[in-house]
Each structure stands twice: as structure tokens, then as C-alpha cells.
Amino acid sequence: MSTPDDRRYTDQHEWAMVQGTDGTSTVVRIGITDHAQDALGDIVFVQLPEVGDEVTPGTAIGEVESTKSVSDFYAPVAGVVAAVNERLADAPETLNSDPYGDGWLVEIAVPGEGGDPVGQLLDAAAYQALVEGS
């Protein structure tokens, strides 16, 4: 199982990576982990939030449906949905084949440019330990 160390993780199996700033906010890209897509199996549908939706940490913002089950995914940071991965509507299986690249889900604009909005999340080693302990 792959766990890149260039991003942070949640105990709900999402990853978050700072993309940069847009002048007033820090943009954070969100996806599900390799472990999550593997546990779900073949992904057949993704429900994403709307651009402009306000989100808070720990709240469900969308769903990933596989041949096995339907699972919510959660916002790891507070902010406003700035972009959604439109390609997943036609190719939800991208979450299986490339969960850390083309299979990203949403980008959230976190107000303010100071600090690290994902700093409180798990690093790769801590996430790997969590997965191995479950």
C-alpha cells in the first residue's frame, strides 16, 4: 500500500495536500487514500459537493460508491469548496487507479494565507501505523 509523505492524512482515510494560495486563501486538495480505495473495491460512482459549499472538519461532504458499499468522505479542513474533480463523473474508477494523482476529489479554499491548514493531520508514518494497527 502506498502512503506518499508529501501530504497529510486523516483517521477517516482521506489525504490532504496544500496546493498553494490564491491571494486570500490557502488551497488544499483532498482525496481518499490507497488503503481506502483498496478496501472499497471497484468504485462505480462519486457524489461530490458543489463549488461554493462551506465545509467544516469532520463533516461528510460527499460519497464514494463501490460494488461493495457506499462510504462518505469527510472534510479535513474548514473552508469553501473551490473545485471538484469533474472527471470522476465519467471515470469514477480513477479513484482506484490513481488515488493520489488524477483521482483527487475536491479542493478547499481555507481562509487566510498564514500557517499550515493541514499541520494538525497525521503524517505518512502515523497514518501507516494507524492502518497497520487496524
Alpha-carbon gap, residue 96 to 34, rounded angstroms: 8
Q: Which amino acid is at 80?
A: V
Q: What is the pLDDT of residue 134?
A: 73
What pTM was computed for the model? 0.94
Q: What is the pLDDT of residue 23?
A: 82
Dihedral class, residue 27 (left if φ above 0, else alpha if ψ from -120 to 50, else beta): beta
pLDDT, block means (10 residues), the chain with 134 residues = 93 96 90 96 97 96 95 96 97 97 97 84 96 87
* Partners of 26 in beta bridges: 21, 110
DSSP per residue, 14-52:
EEEEEEEE-SSEEEEEEEE-HHHHHHH-SEEEEE---TT
Alpha-carbon gap, residue 18 to 33, rounded angstroms: 16
Q: What is the pLDDT of residue 113?
A: 67
Q: What is the pLDDT of residue 1?
A: 77
Grid cell in block for residue 63: 460519497
